[in-house]
Amino acid sequence: MFTLPSARRFLLPAAVILILLVILRVLADTGSLRSSHDALLQAALQRELSNSAKITLLYNASAHPHLSAGRKTTYRPPSHALPLPLAHPVIKQFTHCPIPANEHTSHIRLPEILYNISLTPTSASSELDKRAEDQNGGQLDSPPTAKTSTTRFFNPAIIPLPYWAHPARYILVSRVVTSGFHQESQICLADICLPQQQQPSSSSSSASTSQGQTHLPPDTRPCTPSDHFHLGSGGGLRCVSEPLKINIPPTPAEKCEDAWLAFPDIPGFHDPRVFWSDKGEPLILVNSASRYGCVGLWIVDLRVVYPVLETILSREDSALGVVRRDSGGEEGSEVAGNGVSLGFKPSMSYPHLTEITRNPRGSRASVEKNWVLWFPSGEEAYVQYDLLGDPLLSKDEAGLEAGQDLEGLPRLGLGGNQSQDYRYSNVTKITGHANNSTTKPRTKERRTWMEKERRGGRTFSKLIGNGFTTPNLTHPHEQPCFSAEEGDFEDSFGSIGHWHQGSNSLRLILCTRAQARTDPACRDDDYTDDDNTGGETTGAVAGGRSVHFAIIHRKFSNELDLPLRYERYVVVWEGREPFQILGVSRLPLLMRDEWAKPWTKDENWPVSGEAELKRKSNATMRMADRGGGSKLMRRGIHEREIGEDDGFDKSPAYFTYTPSLAWTWSPHSAAANQDHENDDVDYMSQLGTGYLGDDVLVGIGLDDVNQAFARVKVDSLLNCLRLCPGVRFAEEAS
Higher per-residue pLDDT: 312 or 447: 312
Judge whether residue 657 has pLDDT over 80.
yes
pLDDT band at 639 (very low <50, low <70, confident <90, very high): very low
708-721 per-position pLDDT tens digit: 999 999 999 999 99
Judge whether residue 204 has pLDDT over 60.
no
pLDDT of residue 3: 58
Q: How far apart are CA 187 and CA 241, in angstroms?
A: 9
DSSP helix/strand/coil, 332: coil
**Widest Cα–Cα separation across the chain:** 129
pLDDT of residue 504: 98
Mean pLDDT, rounded, for 36-51:
51
Judge whether residue 63 has pLDDT over 50.
no
52-66, 101-115, 270-284, 712-726, range with the lowest pLDDT = 52-66
Closest by CA position to 607, among listed 599, 597, 615, 619: 615
134-183 per-position pLDDT tens digit: 544 444 444 333 344 678 999 999 999 999 998 899 999 999 998 888 89
Q: How far apart are CA 501 and CA 287, in angstroms?
A: 14
pLDDT of residue 213: 46
- Do 521 and 510 meet the contact criterion of CB atoms below 8 Å apart? no
411-463 per-position pLDDT tens digit: 444 443 333 332 222 222 322 233 333 333 333 333 332 333 334 578 999 99
Q: Mean pLDDT highest for which of 53-67, 212-226, 620-634?
A: 212-226
Closest by CA position to 544, among listed 569, 519, 522, 513: 522
- Do 324 and 318 meet the contact criterion of CB atoms below 8 Å apart? yes
pLDDT of residue 611: 56
Mean pLDDT, rounded, for 466-492:
81
Higher per-residue pLDDT: 288 or 623: 288
Q: How far apart are CA 149 and CA 499, in angstroms?
A: 36
pLDDT of residue 563: 77
How many other CB atoms sit within 10 Å of the CB of residue 93?
A: 13
pLDDT of residue 73: 40
pLDDT of residue 411: 43
Residue 200 φ then ψ, to 5°? -60, 155
Q: How far apart are CA 561 and CA 138, in angstroms?
A: 48
pLDDT band at 569 (very low <50, low <70, confident <90, very high): very high
Give the rounded distance of the alpha carbon of 287 from its chain centre.
13
Say which DSSP state 719 is in: S
Average pLDDT, the chain: 74
Mean pLDDT, rounded, for 283-305:
96
Closest by CA position to 15, among listed 4, 27, 6, 7: 7
**Torsion angle (degrees, nearest 10) of CA 11, 13, 19, 23:** -170
Mean pLDDT, rounded, for 240-253:
95
Q: How far apart are CA 348 and CA 713, in angstroms?
A: 31
Mean pLDDT, rounded, for 667-692:
77
Residue 25 φ then ψ, to 5°? -65, -40
Strand boundaries in 13-138, DSSP class E: 56-59, 71-74, 108-109, 114-118
pLDDT of residue 345: 67
pLDDT band at 388 (very low <50, low <70, confident <90, very high): confident
Judge whether residue 266 has pLDDT over 70.
yes
pLDDT of residue 650: 72
Strand boundaries in 317-473, DSSP class E: 354-355, 372-377, 380-386, 459-465, 468-469
Q: Mark out the alpha helices in 386-448 (DSSP H runs).
A: 395-398, 408-412, 424-427
Judge whether residue 30 has pLDDT over 70.
no
pLDDT of residue 486: 54
- Cα-based distances in Å from 31 to 25, 184, 292, 338, 358: 10, 37, 16, 55, 22
pLDDT of residue 86: 94
pLDDT of residue 602: 92
Query: For the chain, what is the radius of gyration of the CA atoms?
Result: 28
326-352 per-position pLDDT tens digit: 433 333 333 333 334 444 567 899 999
DSSP H or E run through 15: helix 11-51
pLDDT of residue 252: 93
**Residues in CB range of 699: below 8 A, 6 or more apart:** 155, 156, 157, 158, 503, 658, 659, 660, 661, 662, 707, 709
Say which DSSP state 337 is in: S
DSSP helix/strand/coil, 57: strand
Closest by CA position to 506, among listed 351, 691, 672, 701: 691
pLDDT band at 391 (very low <50, low <70, confident <90, very high): very low
What is the sign of the dihedral through the CA atoms of 354, 358, 364 and 370? negative
Q: How far apart are CA 416 and CA 399, in angstroms?
A: 16
DSSP helix/strand/coil, 396: helix
pLDDT of residue 688: 96
- Do 589 and 569 meet the contact criterion of CB atoms below 8 Å apart? yes
What is the sign of the dihedral through the CA atoms of 248, 250, 256 and 260? positive
Say which DSSP state 410 is in: H
216-235 per-position pLDDT tens digit: 999 999 999 999 999 999 99
